């Protein structure tokens, strides 16, 4: 059974058809890309998968369980983590707090435990803190644990956002334009990082990217959409020579 299965996903914003008949079977361990020109509906698909929007039609299944109608935090708890196109960290909180809060779904203690500081509360909090610091350690961010996120440079904020997504214990990681605003040097580091976390955390990764060089570099399979419709699918080499893709990106010949 595929890890993620999307069938005939269609979504309208009022009269605007943002996504039309999108299908995908994502096998465990794959690293695939979703590309398309601006406004093609890429982020909308991520928002549909993570439950931020409820699809107009179609079905999304994770390990065979339908995700349609679930609230975003429930979907995240089922194992889909994501980052955002524009960084959406909790800016005035420390790095550590950002990572801690992302483990909200793993909390088993109740409010009363938190108020009375019961043993259960202390054990769980200790565990959450330990895990957060370990994660930060892995990314060599531990020394920044108490730093307020807003004070970090852009590149580190991107990293913290990835760590935060990993803190939710995902099986599938959705990266929404992770290389946005990065220079070529930073992009190379990022690509290595993505491949490394895939191995390290045994993840399936789905990347939205605008820049061809990112996606061509690491994706095994690519889907291209334009105006909400899938126009091509295949390996990076196939995509690069696909006339419909070229048309979508570069426009009609002879203009």
**Selection from 148, 149, 181, 173 nearest residue 83 by Cα:** 173
Q: Output the smallest distance, CB 156 to other proteins, in A.
A: 17
**Helix-, strand-, coil-residue percentages of the chain, each rounded to 5:** 40, 25, 35
With respect to other proteins, which residue has the nearer C-beta, 156 or 211? 156
Q: 105 or 237: whose CB is closer to other proteins?
A: 105
Under the binding rule (CB under 8 A), the answer on residue 146 touching other proteins is: no
Stretch that binds other proteins, among 6-14, 107-115, 211-219, 237-245 (CB under 8 A): 107-115
In whole angstroms, give the CA distance from residue 217 to residue 228. 24
Residue 71 to residue 230: CA distance in whole angstroms: 26
Interface characters, 220-239, with other proteins (x: CB under 8 A): --------------------
CB contact set of 123 (below 8 Å; sequence gap of 6+): none
**Residues in 166-205 at the binding interface with other proteins, rule: CB under 8 A:** 168
Is residue 71 part of the contact set for other proteins (CB under 8 A)? yes
Per rule CB under 8 A, is residue 119 in the interface with other proteins?
no
Part in contact with other proteins (CB under 8 A); list of ranges 18-26, 59-67, 99-107, 185-193? 99-107
Q: C-beta of 67: minimal distance to other proteins in Å? A: 13
Cα within 13 Å of Cα(20), Cβ side: 11
Class of residue 184 by CB neighbours under 10 A (exposed 0-12, middle 13-18, buried 19+): exposed
Strand order of the sheet with strand 221-226?
Answer: 80-82, 172-176, 204-208, 31-35, 221-226, 229-234
Stated as kind and residue range, the H or E segment containing 5 is strand 4-13
- The answer to whether residue 121 forms part of the interface with other proteins (CB under 8 A) is yes
Smallest gap from Cβ 55 to other proteins, in A, equals 16
Q: Which of residues 75-94 bind other proteins (CB under 8 A)?
A: 76-77, 82, 84, 88-93
Q: What is the DSSP letter of 73?
A: H
Choice between 52 and 133, CB closer to other proteins: 52
Total residues contacting other proteins by CB under 8 A comes to 36
- Of 244, 209, 203, whose CA–CA distance to 227 is shortest? 244
- Kindly state the smallest distance separating residue 71's Cβ from other proteins, in Å: 7
Where does this chain bind other proteins (CB under 8 A)?
Answer: 50-52, 71-73, 76-77, 82, 84, 88-93, 97, 100-105, 107, 109, 111, 114-117, 121, 125, 128, 164-165, 168
């Amino acid at each position: 059974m595929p890890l993620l299965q999307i069938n005939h996903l269609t979504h309208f914003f009022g009269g605007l058809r943002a996504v039309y008949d999108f299908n995908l079977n994502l096998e465990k361990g794959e690293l695939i890309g979703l590309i398309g020109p601006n406004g093609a509906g890429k982020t909308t698909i991520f928002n549909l998968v993570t439950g931020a929007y409820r699809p107009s039609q179609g079905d999304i299944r994770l390990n065979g369980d339908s995700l349609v109608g679930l609230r975003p935090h429930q979907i995240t708890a089922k194992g889909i983590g994501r980052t955002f196109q524009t960084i959406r960290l909790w800016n005035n909180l420390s790095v550590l707090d950002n990572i801690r809060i992302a483990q909200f779904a793993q909390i088993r203690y109740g409010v009363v435990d938190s108020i009375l500081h019961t043993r259960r509360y202390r054990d769980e909090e200790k565990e959450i803190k330990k895990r957060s610091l370990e994660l930060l350690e892995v990314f060599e961010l531990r020394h920044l644990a108490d730093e307020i996120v807003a004070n970090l440079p852009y590149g580190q904020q991107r990293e913290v956002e990835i760590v935060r997504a990993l803190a939710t214990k995902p099986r599938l990681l959705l990266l929404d334009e992770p290389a946005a605003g990065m220079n070529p040097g930073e992009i190379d580091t990022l690509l290595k990082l993505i491949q490394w976390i895939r191995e390290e955390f045994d993840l399936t990764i789905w990347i939205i990217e605008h820049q061809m060089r990112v996606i061509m570099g690491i994706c095994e399979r690519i889907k291209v959409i334009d105006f909400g419709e899938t126009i091509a699918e295949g390996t990076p080499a196939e995509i690069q020579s696909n006339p419909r893709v070229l048309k979508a990106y570069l426009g009609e010949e002879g203009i």
